[in-house]
Amino acid sequence: MLLEFLAEYLKEQGFAHTDRITKSVGLIILEEALRRAAEKEKDGKPRSNELIAQTKLIAENIIAAFNGDANVDSRIKGILVFHKVLR
């Protein structure tokens, strides 16, 4: 479900390369969103609102990485490069 949200959000933002983000890469990206959402909470348990916010931020970083933005999150860019989504 969250994987579908990520894909739809990317499409809404005008991202034309959603087909290059495979299910396995999408799940790795969502693991990062989950980790970041958990970091925001005192008890270390992610809440849905924060998870959605982090997923949107990561989606924006995916778009920035494809656009060649120098300020893209290095972890997200690293995932995309390692899995040969971004060349």
Question: pLDDT digits over 38-52, tens only?
Answer: 999 889 888 889 999
- Kindly state whether residue 74 falls inside one of the protein's structural domains: yes
Share of the chain above pLDDT 70, in %: 100
pLDDT at position 32 is 96
Q: For the chain, how many helices (H) and strands (E)?
A: 4, 0
- Kindly state whether residue 87 falls inside one of the protein's structural domains: no
- Kindly state whether residue 50 falls inside one of the protein's structural domains: yes
pTM of the model: 0.91
- Number of independent structural domains in the chain: 1
Domain encompassing residue 20: 2-82
> What confidence tens digit (pLDDT) does each residue in 16-38 have?
999 999 999 999 999 999 999 99
Task: Report the C-alpha gap between 28 and 25 in whole angstroms.
Answer: 5
Task: Report the C-alpha gap between 6 and 35 in whole angstroms.
Answer: 16
5: enclosing H helix or E strand? helix 2-12
